C-alpha cells in the first residue's frame, strides 16, 4: 500500500524526471530495433521506418503510458489552464472586456448577497450560535389577544410555562425587542434597549466586559431589582468608559437603575437595531409606567430564544414545546396554536423573514438579470472568437482530438475567464460593500431606527461567489464550446465556408438569439427602472394636499415619563402658552399623530343603518388643525373649542369617506357608532388629503377632537413666519424649562416626507444603476454582433457594391439584420415586464403598474440606443471600398 | 483511437508476468521475448508494451527499478521484476486460463 502511494506521489511530483526517463527508454527501444534491423541487412533508412512500424506511434504510446500514472485529470487541467491563460494573454483587449463584464455582474450579485447574508442569514453573534433557536407562535381559530409589537410574541406567563416545562432546551430566554427609554442627564438621550429575562446573558453565553450580568435573584419579583447592564458603545460615548460606573445609578424613563455591568464590546443585542442597555424583565412597569405587561396573561410582547441541549433537533424542540402550547390552548376554547421553531438569526421572525426575503429575492433577481446580460455579452465574444479559431479547432478534431476534450478545454478557458472576473468583482464588492451599507444606513431619514449590520463576508458569501462564478463560466462558455466543437470539418478546413451571400455567418442564429435575450432582459430592467424613477419624480413633486411650509412638529412621549392625564394637561397648556409667546409663532395646534409621521391610528366604526363595522383610520386633533394645514372644510363646520373641552362625540370625515359611506347624500349629521354604545355625529366634511399615507387619500378617515383626558397623547404642531431654526430652538428651550428630562423631538413637518421618499429613492437609485449597466452591456452586445457580422461578410458586401448596391443599401441591410433580434427581444421584454410589473406596484407612488410613459418611452430609448450601436459598424460597412473588400483575406 | 479490448490487454499482462517470472528484464528484452512465449500468437505493436508495464507497476503486479544498461553505459533502462509478494508470482498461474489457442491460431476466451 505504502509502496503504491509512494509510486503515485512520485508520478505526481517527479513527473518531469519520469517523463524524461520514459522518453529515453522508448528511444533506447527504437534504437535497439533499428540496430537489429540493420544487422538483418536493411539500409539505415529502411531500418528506421521498419522499427517505427513495429513500435507504433511513440507520441500516442507515451501519452497512454502517462495515463497509467494517474493524475491525468490534473495534468490535462493544468495543460488546459496553461493553454487558456496563454490564449487570454494573447488577446488582452478581449480578455479585459470579458473580465470586466463578468466582474461587474458577479460583483453586484455578491455585494447584494453579502448584505442579505448580514441582515438575515448569519447566525447570531454569540458563542455556539448554531444551538440557539427562535420560537414564534401562530394562532388559528377564535383568537382574542393583545399585541405589543408583533403577533407572534409571547406573554410573560406563557414564557414561564415554556421555560419550566420543556425538556429539550438547556435554557430559554425572553426579551422585549421594541423598547425605548430616555436616559436622564444634562442632555437627555433616547435609547433603544431591551427588557430581558435574567438568564438572558447566561443562555447566550455572553460574558460582561466589566461587572456582572443578571442573576436569577434579579427577576424574583416585579419591581424588586432595579439594575441595568449597559452596552459598550453607550458606556464609551456617554460615560467616557469610566470603570467606576459599575455600582452607580442612572435614570431611565425617570426610574433609578443601578449599573451592574458593561456588556462585551461587539455585543449589540439580538436585532439589527443595537441595544444600548438591558434591564430585567421584572422592571417592565418602571420603564413603561403606562402598562403592566407582566400580569397580562394574554398579551404578546416577548420574543423567545432557547439554547438546544446537545443532540436535540429542531423537530424535537417543536414537538416538545407543542405539547405545552396545546395545554395553554385549553384555557382559550376555539384557539389552536402552532409554534414556529427556527435557527436564530437577525430578523428571524417569520413575518420579518418573509419581507426581507421578498425584497432580497426581487433585488437578487434583478442583479441576476444584469449578470445574465453580461454572460450573453461574453458568450457572444467567445462565439466570435471561436469562429476565428475555427480552423485550429478543426485541425485538432481531425488529428484525433476527442470532442469532449476540446469542449473541456474551451470550458476551462471560459471558467478561467469567469474566475478572473469573479475574483475581481468579489474583491471589489467585499471591499466596498461595508462602506456602501454604512453610507445608505447613515442617510436613512430622521426618525428611522439606527441599524447596524455586519455585512462582512463569511464562508457562505465566499461559497456563493464561487458557485456563481463557476455557474457563470459554464453558462457563457457552454454554448460557444458546443458550437465551436461541432463543425463541418471539411468546410472549416477549407477556410472560408459560411461567410458568403445568403448564408448567415456560422453561429449567426445563436448570436442573434443571445442578442435577443439580452435586449429582452435589458428591457425589463429598464422599464422597471423607468417606472420607479417616474414614481420617485411624482413623489418628489406631488402635492400631498395640505400645507407643510413653516410648520414645526414637537413630538414627545408623556406616558412613558410617568405623566398622568392631569399632569399632562397642565404641561401641555403651559407649553402651548410659552410656545405661542415665541417670536414669529402664529399658531399652535395639537394632533395625536402628526401628518405623514408613519404612525397610524385605526378603529372600527359602524355607520348608522349598517350592521358590519368598517375599519377607519383616524387622528385626534385640536380645532384649528385644519386651518393650519390648509385643509378646507367643504361641508358643515369644524369642531369648536367647547366641543373639544367637553369631549363631545363629534367627527369630521374626509370627502372620499363621505362618498363611500353615503353616496349622493349629505354626510353632515349622519351618525356612526363604536360598537360600545357610543354614537358619533358627523359635523363636517374636509377635503381629501394624503395626511396619513403619501400617495393615498382615498381610505376611510375621520378626525376627532382631543379632550382633556387625552392630553398625554397629543403632539404639537407650530406654525411660524420666522426662521424654522429659531422656532425649533424656542420650542426645545420651552420644553426643557418645564421638564428638563423630557425627550422632545423637534423637526420640520416637511421632514416627514423624507421617510416616505427614501424607500423609493433607494429603489430608484438602485434600479437606475442596474438599468444603466444593463443598457450599457446590451448596447455593447448589439455593437459587437453587428461589427462582427460586418467583418465576416466584408467580401459579400464588396460583391454587392460591385454589382451596384449603394452605401445606403448596404447600411440598411446591416442595420435591418441587426435590428431583427433587437425588436423581437424588445417585444418579449415589454410583454414580460407588463406581466411582472404588478410586483412593483407597492413601491410605485401615484402610478399604475402599466404607466404608458414608461412602457412607451423606455422601448423607444432602447431601440434608439440599439440603432446607434448598430449604426456605427453599419456605416463602416457602407464605406467599404469594393476592391479592398474583394481582396479581403 | 479506440482502447484495446479488455481481453487483449489482460493477455498482454499475463504474458509480461510470465516473461519476467524467471529473471528481471527490461522493456526491450520483454518485447523480444513475448512473441516467443506466445508462439507468435500474440501480435502486438512493441510500443504498447510500455503503457502495459506502467499500468502493472501502478497496480502492484511488477516492480521496477532504473538500472544502467550493460550494452549502453550511461543510459538508464527500467529493469522489470516480478513482485516478490502476491499477486505477481501467483498471478501468472491464476490468470493463465483466460486465453487458449484455437486451431485457427486466434486467441479466444474460455
Residue-wise pLDDT tens digits, A572-606:
999 999 999 988 898 999 999 999 888 888 888 88
By mean pLDDT, which of A18-27, A149-158, A683-692 is the weakest?
A: A18-27
The partner residue sitting opposite A58, judged by closest CB among B47, B58, B75, is: B47
Give the distance from residue A80's alpha carbon to the nearest chain B alpha carbon, in angstroms.
21
Q: Are strands A208-211 and A255-263 parallel, antiparallel or unpaired?
A: antiparallel
pLDDT at A469 over 90: yes
Reply yes or no on whether the pLDDT at A888 is more than 80.
Answer: no
Asked if A25 lies within 8 A of B77 by C-beta distance, the reply is yes
Residue A335 has pLDDT above 70, yes or no: yes
Cell of B29: 528484452
Percent of chain B with pLDDT over 90: 0
Chain B hits for A399, CB-CB cut-off 8 Å, are none
Question: With an 8 Å Cβ cutoff, is A57 touching chain B?
Answer: yes
Q: How far is B60 from chain A (nearest CA, A)?
A: 7
Per-residue model confidence (pLDDT) at position B109 = 39
**If you average pLDDT over residues A774-779, what whole number do you get?**
86
| Cβ atoms of residues A261 and A246 within 8 Å | yes
Residue A494 clears pLDDT 60, i.e. is over it: yes
* Residue given cell 410617568 in the structure block: A562
pLDDT band at A325 (very low <50, low <70, confident <90, very high): very high
Looking at residue A123, the DSSP 8-state letter turns out to be: B
Whether residue A172 is predicted with pLDDT greater than 90 in this model: the reply is: yes
Confidence of residue B83 (pLDDT cuts 50, 70, 90): low
Give residue-wise pLDDT tens across range A706-740: 888 888 889 999 999 876 788 999 999 999 999 88
Q: Which three cell numbers stand for residue A432?
A: 466596498
User: Of the ranges A59-68, A79-88, A297-306, which one carries the lowest mean pLDDT score?
Assistant: A59-68
Mean pLDDT confidence for B75-95: 52
pLDDT of residue A458: 86
Q: Taking the C-alpha atoms of A48, A52, A55 and A57 in order, what is their torsion angle to the nearest 10 degrees?
A: 150
pLDDT of A298 higher than 70: yes
Kindly indicate the confidence band of residue A636, based on its pLDDT and cuts at 50, 70 and 90: very high
Task: Identify the H or E element spanning A181.
Answer: strand A169-183
Contact A26 B50 (CB under 8 A): yes
| The pLDDT value given to residue A451 | 74
For A816, counting Cβ atoms within 10 Å of its Cβ (0-12 exposed, 13-18 middle, 19+ buried), the class is exposed
- Nearest-by-Cβ selection for A61 from B48, B57, B75: B48
Cross-strand partners of A589: A717
| Residue B92 in this model has a pLDDT that exceeds 50 | no
* A–B interface: beta-carbon pairs under 8 A: 68
- For A494, counting Cβ atoms within 10 Å of its Cβ (0-12 exposed, 13-18 middle, 19+ buried), the class is exposed
Interface test with B, best of A5, A37, A68 (most B CBs within 10 A): A68
Q: Look at residue A846 in the predicted model and tell me its pLDDT.
A: 65
Q: Classify residue A135 by burial, with Cβ atoms within 10 Å: 0-12, 13-18, 19+.
A: buried
What pLDDT, on the 0 to 100 scale, is given for residue A572? Answer: 93
Distance CA A607, CA A680 (A): 9
pLDDT of residue B107: 43
A26 close contact with B: CB closer than 8 A? yes
Contact status of B60 with chain A (Cβ, < 8 Å): yes
Looking at the complex, does the CB of residue A59 fall below 8 Å from at least one CB of chain B? no
Neighbours of A59 (CB within 10 A): 9
Which residue is listed with cell 442627564?
A185
> HSE on the CB side for A256, CA within 13 Å?
4
Residue A690 DSSP code:
-
ipTM: 0.71
Angle at A659 between CA A656 and CA A663, to 5 degrees: 175
CA distance B62 to chain A (A): 11
Task: Report whether pLDDT(A151) > 70.
Answer: yes
Mean pLDDT (whole number) for A233-241: 91
Spatial contact of A818 and A789, defined as CB atoms under 8 Å apart: yes
Residue A225, helix vs strand vs coil: coil
Provide the 3-class DSSP secondary structure of residue A249: strand
Residue with more model confidence, A229 or A760: A229
Our CA-based measurement puts residue A867 at a distance from the nearest CA of chain B, in whole angstroms, of 51
Nearest CA in chain A to B55: A68
Find the range with the poorest average confidence among A309-318, A419-428, A683-692, B34-43. Answer: B34-43
B-contacting residues in A 493-532 (Cβ below 8 Å): none
Q: Is the pLDDT of residue A370 over 90?
A: no
pLDDT at A463: 93
Residue B108 has pLDDT above 60, yes or no: no
**Core vs surface per residue A255-266: b (16+ CB within 10 A) or e:** bebebbbbbeee
Of residues A586, A648, A592, the one with CA closest to residue A622 = A592
Question: Which band of pLDDT confidence, cut at 50, 70 and 90, is reported for residue B101?
Answer: very low
Chain A interface includes B76 (CB < 8 A): yes
Cα–Cα distance, A309 to A307 (Å, whole number):
7
Least confident of A210-214, A668-672, A883-887: A883-887
Neighbours of A624 (CB within 10 A): 17
Contacts of B29 in chain A (CB under 8 A): none
Report the pLDDT value the prediction gives residue A497, as an integer from 0 to 100. Answer: 44
The Cα A644–Cα A625 span in angstroms is 12
Residue where the block lists cell 382631543 = A706
CB burial of residue A143 (10 Å; 0-12, 13-18, 19+): middle
| Summary mean pLDDT of chain A | 85
* pTM of structure: 0.72
Mean pLDDT on A500-525 = 72
Query: Does the pLDDT of residue A425 top 50, yes or no?
Result: yes
Mutation target among A39, A56, A58, A397 for the B interface, most CBs of B within 10 A? A56
Q: Which of A8-12, A412-416, A437-441 has the lowest mean pLDDT?
A: A8-12
pLDDT of residue A483: 82
Q: What is the dihedral of CA A426, A431, A437, A442, to 10 degrees?
A: -160
Residue with cell 405587561: A293
Q: Do A28 and B55 touch (CB under 8 A)?
A: no
* For A20, nearest residue in chain B (alpha carbons): B76
Helix, coil or strand: residue A805: coil
Q: What is the mean pLDDT of residues A298-321?
A: 92
Q: Which residues of A touch B69 (CB under 8 A)?
A: 28
- Give bridge partners of residue A308 from the DSSP assignment: A169
DSSP code, position A500 = S
Is A22 in the B-facing interface, judged by CB distances under 8 Å? Answer: yes
For chain B, say whether A402 makes contact (Cβ under 8 Å): no
Residue of A nearest to B69 (CA): A28
User: Which chain A residues have a beta carbon less than 8 Å from that of B48?
Assistant: 56, 61, 64
Q: What is the pLDDT of residue A64?
A: 77
Q: Indicate the average pLDDT of chain B.
A: 64
**pLDDT over threshold 80, residue A197:** yes
- Cα separation, A118 vs A172, whole angstroms: 25
Q: What's the DSSP call for residue A696?
A: B
Q: Which of B92, B17, B3, B4 is nearest to B56 (CA)?
A: B17
Share of residues in chain A with pLDDT > 70 (%) = 94
Contacts of B58 in chain A (CB under 8 A): 4, 7-8, 11, 68-70
The region of weakest confidence among A89-93, A142-146, A408-412 is A142-146
pLDDT for position A816:
83
Q: Which one has a higher pLDDT value, B33 or A827? A: A827
CB of B84 within 8 Å of a chain A CB? The answer is no
Question: Measured between beta carbons, which residues in chain A are less than 8 angstroms from residue B75?
Answer: 24, 28
Q: If pLDDT is split at 50, 70 and 90, which confidence band does A884 have? A: confident
A55 vs B: CB within 8 A: yes
Least CB–CB distance from B54: residue in A33, A60, A69: A69
Which residues of A are less than 8 Å from B55 in CB distance?
68
Mutate to test the interface with A, among B46, B81, B85, B88 (most CBs of A within 10 A): B46
**Is residue A608 predicted with pLDDT exceeding 70?**
yes
Tell me the residues of chain A between 531 and 590 that have a Cβ less than 8 Å away from chain B: none
* In contact, A700 and A635? CB cutoff 8 Å: no
Cα–Cα distance between A144 and A156 in angstroms, integer?
Answer: 17
- Say whether residue B97 is in contact with chain A using an 8 A CB cutoff: no
Of B45, B54, B76, the CB nearest to A56: B45
Q: φ, ψ for residue A490 (rounded to 5)?
A: -65, -40
Pick from A11, A32, A61: which is nearest to B50 by CB?
A61
CA–CA separation, A79 and A88 (whole Å): 14
Amino acid at each position: 500500500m505504502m509502496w503504491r502511494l509512494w509510486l503515485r506521489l512520485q508520478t505526481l511530483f517527479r513527473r518531469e524526471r519520469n517523463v524524461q526517463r520514459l522518453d529515453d527508454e522508448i528511444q533506447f527501444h527504437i534504437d535497439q530495433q533499428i540496430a537489429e534491423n540493420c544487422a538483418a541487412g536493411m539500409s539505415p533508412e529502411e531500418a528506421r521506418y521498419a522499427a517505427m512500424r513495429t513500435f507504433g506511434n511513440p507520441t500516442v504510446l507515451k501519452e497512454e503510458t502517462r495515463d497509467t500514472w494517474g493524475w491525468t485529470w490534473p495534468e490535462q487541467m493544468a495543460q488546459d489552464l496553461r493553454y487558456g491563460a496563454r490564449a487570454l494573454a494573447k488577446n488582452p483587449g478581449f480578455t479585459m472586456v470579458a473580465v470586466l463584464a463578468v466582474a461587474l455582474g458577479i460583483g453586484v450579485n455578491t455585494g447584494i448577497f453579502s448584505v442579505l447574508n448580514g441582515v438575515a442569514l448569519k447566525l447570531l453573534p454569540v458563542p455556539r450560535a448554531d444551538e440557539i433557536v427562535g420560537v414564534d407562535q401562530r394562532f388559528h381559530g377564535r383568537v382574542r389577544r393583545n399585541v405589543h409589537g408583533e403577533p407572534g410574541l409571547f406573554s410573560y406567563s406563557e414564557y414561564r410555562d415554556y421555560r419550566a416545562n420543556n425538556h429539550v432546551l438547556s435554557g430559554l430566554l425572553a426579551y422585549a425587542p421594541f423598547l425605548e427609554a430616555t436616559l436622564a442627564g444634562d442632555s437627555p438621550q433616547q435609547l433603544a434597549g431591551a427588557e430581558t429575562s435574567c438568564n438572558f446573558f447566561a443562555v447566550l453565553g455572553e460574558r460582561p466586559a466589566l461587572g456582572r450580568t443578571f442573576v436569577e435573584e434579579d427577576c424574583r419579583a416585579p419591581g424588586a431589582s432595579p439594575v441595568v447592564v449597559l452596552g459598550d458603545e453607550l458606556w464609551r460615548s456617554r460615560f467616557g468608559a469610566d470603570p467606576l460606573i459599575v455600582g452607580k445609578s442612572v435614570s431611565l424613563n425617570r426610574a433609578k437603575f443601578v449599573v451592574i455591568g458593561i456588556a462585551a464590546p461587539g455585543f449589540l443585542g439580538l436585532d439589527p437595531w443595537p441595544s444600548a442597555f438591558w434591564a430585567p424583565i421584572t422592571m417592565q412597569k418602571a420603564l413603561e409606567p403606562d402598562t403592566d405587561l407582566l400580569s397580562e396573561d394574554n398579551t404578546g410582547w416577548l420574543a423567545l430564544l432557547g439554547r438546544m441541549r446537545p443532540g436535540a433537533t429542531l423537530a424535537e424542540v417543536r414537538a416538545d414545546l407543542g405539547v405545552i402550547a396545546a395545554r395553554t390552548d385549553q384555557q382559550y376554547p376555539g384557539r389552536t396554536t402552532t409554534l414556529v421553531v427556527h435557527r436564530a438569526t437577525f430578523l428571524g421572525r417569520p413575518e420579518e423573514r418573509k419581507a426581507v426575503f421578498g425584497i432580497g429575492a426581487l433585488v437578487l433577481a434583478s442583479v441576476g438579470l444584469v449578470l445574465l446580460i453580461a454572460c450573453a455579452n461574453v458568450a457572444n465574444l467567445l462565439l466570435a472568437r471561436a469562429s476565428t479559431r475555427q480552423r485550429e479547432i478543426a485541425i485538432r478534431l481531425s488529428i484525433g482530438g476527442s470532442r469532449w476534450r476540446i469542449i473541456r478545454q474551451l470550458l476551462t478557458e471560459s471558467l478561467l475567464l469567469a474566475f478572473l472576473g469573479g475574483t475581481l468583482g468579489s474583491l471589489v464588492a467585499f471591499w466596498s460593500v461595508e462602506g456602501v451599507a454604512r453610507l445608505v444606513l447613515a442617510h436613512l431619514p430622521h426618525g428611522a431606527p439606527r441599524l447596524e449590520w455586519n455585512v462582512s463576508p463569511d464562508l457562505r458569501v465566499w461559497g456563493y461567489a464561487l458557485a456563481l462564478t463557476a455557474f457563470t463560466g459554464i453558462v457563457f462558455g457552454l454554448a460557444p464550446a458546443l458550437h465551436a466543437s461541432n463543425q463541418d470539418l471539411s468546410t472549416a478546413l477549407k477556410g472560408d465556408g459560411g461567410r458568403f451571400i445568403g448564408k448567415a455567418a456560422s453561429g449567426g442564429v445563436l448570436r442573434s438569439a443571445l442578442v435577443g435575450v439580452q435586449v429582452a432582459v435589458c428591457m425589463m430592467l429598464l422599464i422597471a427602472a423607468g417606472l420607479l424613477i417616474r414614481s420617485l419624480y411624482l413623489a418628489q413633486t406631488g402635492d400631498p394636499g395640505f400645507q407643510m411650509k413653516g410648520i414645526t412638529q414637537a413630538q414627545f412621549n408623556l406616558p412613558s415619563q410617568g405623566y398622568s392625564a392631569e399632569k399632562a394637561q397642565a404641561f401641555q397648556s403651559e407649553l402651548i402658552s410659552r410656545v405661542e409667546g415665541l417670536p414669529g409663532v402664529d399658531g399652535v395646534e395639537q394632533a395625536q399623530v402628526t401628518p405623514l409621521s408613519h404612525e397610524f391610528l385605526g378603529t372600527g366604526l359602524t355607520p348608522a343603518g349598517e350592521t358590519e363595522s368598517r375599519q377607519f383610520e383616524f387622528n385626534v386633533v385640536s380645532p384649528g388643525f385644519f386651518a393650519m394645514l390648509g385643509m378646507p372644510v367643504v361641508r358643515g363646520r369644524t369642531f369648536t373649542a367647547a366641543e373639544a373641552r367637553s369631549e363631545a362625540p363629534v367627527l369630521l370625515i374626509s370627502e372620499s369617506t363621505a362618498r363611500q359611506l353615503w353616496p349622493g347624500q349629505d354626510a353632515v349629521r349622519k351618525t356612526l357608532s363604536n360598537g360600545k354604545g357610543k354614537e358619533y355625529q358627523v359635523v363636517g366634511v374636509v377635503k381629501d388629503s394624503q395626511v396619513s399615507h403619501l400617495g393615498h387619500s382615498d381610505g376611510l378617515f375621520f378626525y376627532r377632537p382631543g379632550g382633556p383626558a387625552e392630553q398625554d397623547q397629543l403632539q404639537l404642531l407650530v406654525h411660524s413666519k420666522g426662521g424654522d431654526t429659531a422656532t425649533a430652538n424656542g420650542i426645545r428651550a420651552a420644553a426643557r424649562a418645564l421638564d428638563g428630562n423630557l425627550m422632545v423631538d423637534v423637526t420640520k413637518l416637511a421632514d416627514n416626507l423624507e421617510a416616505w421618499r427614501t424607500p423609493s429613492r433607494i429603489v430608484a437609485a438602485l434600479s437606475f444603476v442596474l438599468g444603466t449597466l444593463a443598457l450599457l452591456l446590451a448596447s455593447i452586445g448589439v455593437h459587437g454582433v453587428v461589427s462582427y457580422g460586418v467583418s465576416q461578410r466584408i467580401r459579400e458586401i464588396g460583391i454587392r457594391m460591385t454589382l451596384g448596391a449603394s452605401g445606403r443599401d448596404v447600411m440598411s441591410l446591416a442595420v435591418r439584420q441587426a435590428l431583427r433580434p433587437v425588436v423581437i427581444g424588445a417585444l418579449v421584454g415589454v410583454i414580460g415586464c407588463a406581466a411582472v410589473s404588478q410586483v412593483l406596484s407597492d413601491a410605485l407612488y401615484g402610478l399604475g403598474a402599466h404607466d404608458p410613459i414608461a412602457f412607451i418611452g423606455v422601448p423607444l430609448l432602447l431601440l434608439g440606443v440599439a440603432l446607434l450601436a448598430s449604426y456605427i459598424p453599419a456605416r463602416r460597412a457602407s464605406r467599404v471600398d469594393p476592391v479592398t473588400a474583394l481582396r479581403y483575406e | 483511437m479506440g482502447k484495446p479490448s479488455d481481453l487483449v490487454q489482460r493477455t498482454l499482462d499475463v504474458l509480461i508476468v510470465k516473461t519476467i517470472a524467471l529473471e528481471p528484464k527490461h522493456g526491450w528484452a520483454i518485447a523480444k521475448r513475448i512473441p516467443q512465449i506466445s508462439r507468435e500468437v500474440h501480435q502486438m505493436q512493441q510500443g504498447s508494451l510500455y503503457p502495459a508495464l506502467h499500468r502493472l507497476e501502478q497496480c502492484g503486479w511488477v516492480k521496477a527499478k532504473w538500472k544502467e544498461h550493460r550494452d549502453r553505459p550511461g543510459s538508464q533502462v527500467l529493469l522489470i521484476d516480478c513482485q516478490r509478494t502476491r499477486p505477481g508470482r501467483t498471478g501468472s498461474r491464476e490468470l493463465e486460463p483466460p486465453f487458449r489457442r484455437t486451431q485457427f491460431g486466434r486467441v479466444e476466451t474460455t
